[in-house]
Every structure is written in C-alpha cells, then in structure tokens.
Structure 1
C-alpha cells in the first residue's frame, strides 16, 4: 500500500461559523482571520494505492458550479486535483474507487462534472466505483433545512444515475480495504477511514476534526447538526488517538497535513504536527 496527500484547492470560510460558540479572540490564535473574518481552509484528499486499486478519499469542490457560487468561498492558490494526481504519475481515469466521507459539497463536488456539451452532468471518474452508505445517502437526498445548502443535487444524484454508486456495509475491509469509523455529530453517518499503514494507524479526519485548532472539545463547528454529539464523539476518539498514538490526516487544515495528540492536564491537546512525508515514505 502507498498513500499520497492530494491537494485539490484552498478556500475560505467564516471563522465564527467554523468555531461555533468559541470567541474569535481565542480561535484566531490558531486560525487567523482576514479582514472579512474568513479563515483559510484546504480541501486535502487522500489517494490510496493498494494492489490494483487506486482509491481517492473525497474529491474537493470541483469546478462545475457558477462564478457566483465560488465567489462565496474565496478560492485561492494553485492546487488542483488533476495536478496533484499527475505529481504522482496518475490520471483521474486511473481511479478505481471514490470513497466519500459525506456528501457536503466541499467533499464530493469534484465527483461530478459537466458533460461534453454542458447539457447535463456525468461522473468525473468514469472508471470508479463511488462509495457512500445507505443512511447518509438517504439523509443527503432528502435534506433537512439546516443542511440543504450543503447537499447539492447536482453533486449527488448523477452518481446514482450513472450506476456507479455503491454502499459500504459492515465488511468495509473487504469492500474498500480499510476500517471505517461512523460519526453522527456533523452529519448522519459521516465516514472516517482508519488505515493501518507502515506499522502505524492513520485516520482521515474529514469534518470530525477540521483543523488542529478544533482539538479542544467545545471547539465545534456551527455547521454540525448535533454539536453535543460531536463533542462526545470527539472526546472518545481523541482519547483513543492519544492512547494508541494515531496519526490524524487533516482534510481542512491549511497549514498542517498530519498531527498527533496527547493527554494533558487540560484534556487531549495537540502533540506534534508533520508533513505527510516527514513520517511516511
């Protein structure tokens, strides 16, 4: 097995929304805001080369939305999914599996693109199986008012229409080659890949832990549908991560790819930060 970090682009979100009830005077110490109160975010995906399979975890925003849509999210930087794949000698047509942690637009938007004559949509990965889970899929295609703006039908329905949609079950090792942790605080049945790699455990954190600044338990996004459950899930996971010395792969942290955590008198806190290649070769 070989794992590669895939940078698909950077964007900005409102810092207050990203930290919920935590005051700006505190959260800006780790996540500095610009003059519009926006903080920098990455859309860092993970590519897993495992035998004859090439599995991409999440796909970023994509490029099919309108200029008005992208204007809300202040895209910046030179990263792109295709350029990141090419850096490692791959093309999107080589991808055999797309594993979607959940169906919010910044995690799955790159899965679907315009067709050639821009009359409709098609999968951006023509040779891939797309993996979700039944509970989350049903949640996303019948969205609640709170999440409706994050579950965009043009990102989701074409996956099913293509015939490429698959649902994970209890045997995720057999289906996708790694264990999956299910989390319900951010959204229904978000999936976190948990991977044994080079003698260590790597967990793809998705939106359970967007950045290192979100490690303290009350630091929960305003986007979460069940914030008290997020706190409970995060507490349980971070204690385990500190005990077992997990490496946490951060999807949204613009400054840190990988981190570890440790027990302190104040609870679990950040231990060390790394580039992926500092630890894994």
Structure 2
C-alpha cells in the first residue's frame, strides 16, 4: 500500500460558523480571520494505492457550481484534484473507488461533473465505485431544513443514477466497521451529520485516521470548539472526546482534511485535556 495526499482546492469559511459558541478572541489565536471574518480551509483528499486499486477518499468542492456559489467560499490557490493526481503520476480515469466520508458539498462536490454539452451531469470518475452508507444516503437525499443547503442534489443523485453507488455493510448498528473491499475500517459518528464515516488505516507501522469533520482543524482540539454546522453538537462532544483520548493513548496520526496549514498532527494528554503534540507534512512523516 502507498498513500498520497491530494489537494482538491482551498477555500474560506466564516470563522464564527466554524467555531460555534466559542468567542473570536479565542479561536483567532489558532485560526486568524481576514477582514471578512473568513478563515483558511483546505480540501485535502487521500489517495490509496493498494495492489490494483486506487481509492480516493473525498473529492472537495469540484468545479461545476456557479460563479455566484463559489463567491460565497472565496477559493484561493491553484490546487485541484487533477493537478494533484498528475503530480503523483495518476489520472482520474484510473480511480477504482471513491469513498465519501459524508455528502456535504465540500466533501463530494468533485464526485460529479457536467457532461460534454453541459446538459446534465455525469460521474467525474467514470471507472470508479462510489461508496456511502445507507443511513447517511437516506439522510442526505431527504435533507432536513438545517442541512439542505449542504446536500446538493446535483452532487448526490447522479451517483445513484449512474449505477456506480455502493453502500458500506454495517451490521447491527456497529460503531466501527471494516470494509474488506477497500482494506480499511471506518468509525461512524453522528454529531456533525448522521453516520459520517471516519476512515482508519494502518500504514508503514503507524495508525492514520482521516479526520473529515470530526476534527476540522488543529484549532478545534479543545472539546467545546465545535462547529456551528454540526447538527448535534452535544453528541459531537462525547464522540470527539472518545476519539481524542484514544488518539493520545495510542499515538495515532491524524490526517487533517480541512486544516489548510497542517497536513498531519499528533495529540497528547495535558491538564487542560487533549491538545496538539506535533505537526507534520505528509512527506516528512511517511516518505
């Protein structure tokens, strides 16, 4: 197995929304805001090369939305999935599996693209199986009013219509499931959105976890630092505490999807709770 960080493109989000009830005077110490109160956000995917499989975890915002849509999110930098895949010697048509942690637009927007004449949509990875889970799929395709703006039908429904959709097999409401077809396991968490999946991998003798929105940035390590986007913030708290305690105990490496400036971090126990231990670039840690 070999892993590659894939930069799907950076954007910005409102700092207040990203930190919920936490005052700006506190969160701006780790995540400084610009004059519009926007903070830097990454969209970092992970590519897994395992035998004849090329598995991509999440796909970022994509590029099919309107100019007005993107104006709300202030894209910055010149990263894209295609550029990042090419850097590592790959092409999107070689991807065998696309795994979505959840179906919010900043995690699955790149799954679908316009067709050639822009009359409809098609899978952006034409040879790939697309993975979700049945409970989250039902949640996303019948969205509540709070999340409706994050579950865009043009990102989701064409996956099913293409015949490329597959569901993770989850037995008896288990909180952790292994996915034999993909070679890694996932932790199910419900605080941010229903049945978000957090991939757990073993790589080069280390435990690596793709954090998705369970821990958006290193600045979110204190337990009360919960996003305003979370649908069940009081559930996020115990989910986050349980995971971070384990991460500190077992020296787990955390792959940060949304932290534009920290690719991988480790954490440690302190008198104030679990806090940042070290930060790494992916290459210095694993190559």
Residue of structure 1 in register with 2:250 after alignment: 244
Is 1:151 aligned to residue 151 of structure 2? yes
In structure 2, distance between residues paired with 1:62 and 1:194: 25
Task: Return the alpha-carbon distance in structure 2 between the equivalents of residues 60 and 135 of structure 1.
Answer: 22
CA RMSD, 1 decimal: 0.6
Report the Cα distance in structure 2 between the residues aligned to 1:34 and 1:174, rounded to whole angstroms.
44
1:19–1:221 contact (8 Å) kept in structure 2:
yes
1:98 is paired with a residue whose SS is: strand
- Give SS of 1:9's match: coil
CA distance in 2, matches of 1:80, 1:96: 19
SS in 1 for 2:70: helix
Tell me the equivalent position of 1:135.
Answer: 135
Deviation at 1:172, TM superposition (A): 3.1
- Asked if the contact 1:168/1:175 (under 8 Å) is kept, the reply is no
In the alignment, structure 1 residue 204 sits paired with structure 2 residue 171: no
The separation in 2 between residues aligned to 1:135 and 1:104, in whole angstroms, is: 14
Match of 1:106 in 2: 106
Q: Deviations over 1:183-217 (max 9, x none)?
A: 10000000011000000100000000000000000
Q: Post-superposition shift, 1:243?
A: 0.3
3-state SS in 2 of match to 1:48:
strand
Q: C-alpha displacement at 1:175, in angstroms?
A: 2.2
Q: Does 1:84 align with 2:84?
A: yes
Please report how far the alpha carbon of residue 226 of structure 1 lies from its aligned counterpart in structure 2 after TM superposition.
0.2
1:73 aligns with 2:73: yes
TM-score, normalised by the number of residues in structure 1: 0.99
Unpaired runs of 5+ residues, structure 1, are none
Q: 1:189 aligns with which of 189, 195, 218?
A: 195
Paired residues, number: 281
Over residues 233-272 of structure 1, what are the superposed CA-to-partner deviations in whole Å (9 max), with x where a residue is unaligned?
0000000000000000000001000000000000100000
Aligned residue number for residue 18 of structure 1: 18
Q: CA deviation at 1:278?
A: 1.4
Out of 166-175 and 207-216, give the one that drifted further: 166-175
Deviations 1:82-135 (A, max 9, x none): 000000000000000000000000000000000011110000000000000000
Q: Equivalent residue for 1:260?
A: 266
* Counterparts of 1:173 and 1:16, CA distance in 2: 36
